[in-house]
Structure 1
């Protein structure tokens, strides 16, 4: 009997908070090692993630996320998180790029034909300061074309719940048009995903999918705004 092999050119995965071993308030599938959780529990959760992805744990590339607009190209496995960066890009197969979030937008990008992928931590400041445009530019330098790039955004804080002062909303809107909104309470807020969709379209990226779920609303996700002390879910992209 012949076996059918999966020939998908790229894979994108998002996790939620279920299925791990971490205790409250990190329960249970916390993948962040910088939030105060038991290191042994985080290690066990990360090992399970690698097993589910059917990749060696050393093939997962993590970031030291600092809400910057720094983009780093990686050309192989690394033993420590990539320092002080909020986007990583690669052309290397079986190298999984990981972004951690708990309200910020996790953005996964790929040009299947060129074999270029990226994982982006698009928080308020990094999105405001152009990290997505810089990531697309880095992908283009490696052979990608915007018209071929597929963008996938995971669950994040929604405009109806993400309250900010008006001056902050105005500041982000000035750099990321389309992000300033009114919340469900009628206060000023931000919809970072809406702003990023508009920006991606302006960059020539047309294939855009976005999970509409709000991490603040949905208790199946970690949310810093809802919980304060909490874990992190992940977005992962790799070329098989």
Structure 2
């Protein structure tokens, strides 16, 4: 695992540097906003991008499996952004869903992924991994951030069965003994099957007030997330 700094100063809760890429996960000290549709604050993405040394690239997250290329001048409808050039900071925003950074340790390629219940079951994580490999990435590592844990994320039995049919590792039972989902476990299982080395940062957004949580805070919840940037000169890294 690369050098990392858990408990970093704002805007990052966790920050790491691979050499080829640098990335970080934020917490509730910074609100990344919910996007242009509801008029949420736009300051957070700019703060995070400035801290990583690039221009912010966002997406309109729709709980699907589409992958787009990160572009500061566009905001595509997607749930994963692939990064293939320096100077751009790809950002994912969450508030109970799973934020993921995937990067190649030896090629200038990375991605951020938003994996909620529907997106995880639909295969957004394998889609992002495939997009990176199509661009030449061989070895990949992933960092899986804080999210609603299986002990807290209660859902109706039919919903639990539907998601578990798509990804059995996501089935869970809550502390109350009711049907639940562990989307993080589903993500980790998918990464393992795809041969990606995964680092689970842990943390439950519903339990820990250090993070935004829609289930805990409702419409008052902001958004935290993850961001990644490719280093200048990384295009010259030998494959």
TM-score range, shorter chain: 0.7 to 0.9
- Is the contact made by 2:35 and 2:60 (CA closer than 8 Å) also made in structure 1? no
TM-score, normalised to structure 2, is: 0.84
SS in structure 2 of the partner of residue 195 of structure 1: helix
Give the alignment's TM-score, normalised by structure 1: 0.83
In the TM superposition, 1:47-196 aligns within 5 A as 47-55=46-54, 59-74=55-70, 77-81=71-75, 83-145=76-138, 148-196=139-187
Q: Deviations over 1:8-55 (max 9, x none)?
A: 22112011111xxxxxxxxxx21114389875xx23333332332233
CA distance in 2, matches of 1:132, 1:159: 19
What residue in structure 1 maps to residue 35 of structure 2?
34
Change (3 A) 1:223 1:189: same
Instruction: Determine which structure has more spread, i.e. the larger CA radius of gyration.
Output: 1
Q: Distance in 2 between matches of 1:190 and 1:211?
A: 18
State the number of aligned residues: 214
2:201 maps to 211
Decide which of 202, 227, 232 is 2:223's aligned counterpart. Answer: 232
1:7–1:150 Cα change, 3 Å: closer
SS at match of 2:148: coil
Please state how far the C-alpha of 1:124 moved relative to its aligned partner. Answer: 0.5
Structure 2: which 5+ residue stretches go unaligned?
1-16, 232-239
Gap regions ≥5 residues in structure 1? 1-5, 19-28
Q: Secondary structure at the match of 1:228?
A: helix
